[in-house]
Amino acid sequence: MAERIIFHVDANSAFLSWTAAYKVNVLGESLDIRNVPSVVAGDKASRHSIILARSTPAKKFGIRTGEPLFQALEKCPDLVIVPPDYTLYVEASRHFVEMLRQFSPAVEQYSIDEAWVDMTGTERIWGTPRLAAERMRQRIWEELGFTVNIGVSTNKLLAKMAGDFEKPNKVHTLFPEEIQEKLWPLPVRDLFLVGGATEAKLKKMGIYTVGDLAKTDLNVLRKRLGKHGETIWHSANGYNVDIVTPEPPENKGYGNSTTTSRDVTTREYAHQVLLSLCETVAARMRKDGKFGSCLSVHLRTSEFQQYSHQEKLLGATNITGEIFRAACKIFDEAWDGKTPLRQLGVQMTMLTSEAYQQYDLFSELSPVKYERKLRLDEAVDALRDKFGEDVIHRAKFAKDPGSHMMGGLDKARRTGVTKPVPKEIPGDKEE
């Protein structure tokens, strides 16, 4: 039996590269944002705008992906800011995955700009793993116009770790026999699934490198960190049995959250935000033919404290009004009415493919009324699909119609193509 060979393929600075190429090659703009300090981020007037991608010149100012935009502007006041274009990114991602499938049918997309490819048994077609990876990298550059990093190993974990080595436009291997040399000297924070909180706990235990973690007694880690301690110990030792799964797993829940433009200090404003979130969550559920029977409401205070409450519903539903009514009830029970909030979220879980309701003599909703509400929501969905989501909104949003469907995916990704996009992404010479 052939040894498993897994590639992890990650596009380098994808959002900024794709945006720059579109502006120069399609729109004909003279400024190439790859050559100046620039970032992809939202509206700088919005307090929740963060850096999604950065150019190489921006990196020299210490600007980091994921940091708030206002901090980046303090480092570089002349920073060029371009808004994200998710329609373009989705199109580019589609071409990216199609290219990978030309090398192997077993492709698992991990995010919009990275995927695993099972290359087991393809050596007669593409050559050795290293040669195949170089061929893949070169073809993506020549035909799609952007660079990638490719990690090569015998399992998904090690392939991803290898792909995160030196960037951009590189091929790296991390086979089991290379773990001690290449993986163990790395800071423990570099290990997949080790975040800031876990890193702090590990350092208190005297664990600073991946090698330190790999050599730690597993029972000690279980006692201090629980199941997660066992997971990262296996990762540090290169153990992983996950297979490349071409089809994405079915949704286990539908959630949505938003950071508000101002602090939430009244129930009226909170309910309006919840309604906008319920609109998008319920619409996604109806589109997928799913119904949920457990609703959670998540709150984040202006001091960044987080807490959530949930409630089991009497039935499984995807009706916007029913989800909203339950969300308001949960929120009113959870919030003290005084603490300012900066973020609200809702999530539906316990999904089924069929609706069901429990009715009694005191229920406000009869089977007939329930059916009418469902048909009304479906009619609204049809109108929004055809004419755009802003074609109809509830009276509650009459003064601010732009906020009637908040959070979740960018509006462009919910409403479809808003301008022509290239069949192939033009070249990226700054990677």
Question: Would you state the pLDDT for residue 36?
Answer: 94
Band (pLDDT 50/70/90 cuts) for residue 411 is: very low
CA distance 54 to 356: 48
Question: Would you state the pLDDT for residue 1?
Answer: 56
Burial 23-53 (b: 16+ CB within 10 A, else e): bbbeeeeeebbbeebbbbbbeeeeeebbbbb
Question: Would you state the pLDDT for residue 251?
Answer: 64
Band (pLDDT 50/70/90 cuts) for residue 400 is: low
* In the predicted structure, residue 382 carries a pLDDT above the cut 90: no
CA distance 284 to 318: 9
Q: Give the closest residue to 63 by CA, choosing from 41, 86, 47.
A: 41
Interval 304-311 mean pLDDT? 83
Structure tokens belonging to residue 178: 């290379």
For 260-290, the pLDDT digits (tens) are 878 899 999 999 999 999 998 999 899 889 9
Band (pLDDT 50/70/90 cuts) for residue 165 is: very high
Q: Would residue 3 show up in a list of annotated catalytic residues for this protein? A: no
Question: Would you state the pLDDT for residue 365?
Answer: 55
* In the predicted structure, residue 409 carries a pLDDT above the cut 90: no
For 192-208, the pLDDT digits (tens) are 888 888 899 999 999 99
CA distance 428 to 408: 29
> Taking CA 61 as the corner, what is the angle to CA 57 and CA 63, rounded to the nearest 5 degrees?
95
β-strand pairing of 306-317 with 291-301:
antiparallel
Residues 397, 403, 407, 408, Cα dihedral to 10°: 90
Q: Which residue has the higher pLDDT, 307 or 293?
A: 293
Band (pLDDT 50/70/90 cuts) for residue 102 is: very high
CA distance 290 to 310: 19
Task: List, in order of start, the domains of the chain with CATH numbers.
Answer: 1-179 (3.30.70.270), 184-236 (1.10.150.20), 254-412 (3.30.1490.100)
Helix, strand, coil percentages for the chain (3-state, nearest 5)? 45, 20, 35
For 51-77, the pLDDT digits (tens) are 989 998 999 999 998 888 989 999 999
% of the chain beyond a pLDDT of 70: 85
Predicted structure pTM score? 0.61
Collapsing DSSP states into helix, strand and coil, what is residue 56? helix
Element (DSSP H or E) covering residue 218: helix 218-225
For 267-322, strand residue ranges (E) read 291-301, 306-317
Collapsing DSSP states into helix, strand and coil, what is residue 315? strand
CA distance 236 to 214: 5
- By the 10 Å C-beta count (0-12 exposed, 13-18 middle, 19+ buried), 334 is classed as middle
DSSP symbols for 390-404: GG---GGGSS-GGGS
CB atoms within 10 A of CB 157: 24
* In the predicted structure, residue 359 carries a pLDDT above the cut 70: no
For 107-159, the pLDDT digits (tens) are 999 888 899 999 999 999 999 999 999 999 999 988 887 889 999 999 999 99
Q: Which residue has the higher pLDDT, 299 or 429?
A: 299
Residues 192, 165 contacting (CB under 8 angstroms): no
Band (pLDDT 50/70/90 cuts) for residue 48 is: low
* In the predicted structure, residue 3 carries a pLDDT above the cut 60: yes
Choose the catalytic residue: 3, 29, 108, 114.
114
* In the predicted structure, residue 425 carries a pLDDT above the cut 60: no
> For 203, what's the count of Cα atoms within 13 Å in the CB-facing half-sphere?
10
Band (pLDDT 50/70/90 cuts) for residue 210 is: very high
Terminal-residue alpha carbon distance, the chain: 38
% of the chain beyond a pLDDT of 90: 46
Structure tokens belonging to residue 360: 């009694």
β-strand pairing of 80-82 with 38-41:
parallel
Q: Give the closest residue to 42 by CA, choosing from 198, 261, 226, 234.
A: 261
User: What φ, ψ does residue 85 adopt, rounded to 5°?
Assistant: -125, 85
